[in-house]
Amino acid sequence: MDFFDVYILTRLVIEENGNVTAENMDVTFDIHEAEAHREKGIENDFEKFSVPADWRGDAETSNLVKAMREFREMVRQWQEEALR
């Protein structure tokens, strides 16, 4: 299975209550862009994730989409039965 790298650019932020959290800023597929982001300031960083090339097929599908696919399959079966 093929994979590709995704870099989530982050920045440390101080919230109103004083907590420090990491905030997602952007997404890139370029390591050089991710490193340039990190070099802009001490508060900047990035996280690397390896994602399957066929991630769309593995993505979670909503219940509505699942129901519509099931309905489409039922219609296809009815059409095939009608043509027999």
pLDDT at 68: 84
Is residue 80 very low, low, confident or very high in pLDDT (cuts 50, 70, 90)? confident
pLDDT at 69: 86
pLDDT at 50: 92
pLDDT at 35: 95
pLDDT at 39: 95
DSSP per-residue string spanning 1-69: --EEEEEEEEEEEE-TTS-EEEEEEEEES-HHHHHHHHHT-TTEEEEEEEEETTHHHHS---HHHHHHH
User: pLDDT tens-digit profile of 37-76?
Assistant: 999 999 999 999 998 887 766 666 667 777 888 889 898 8
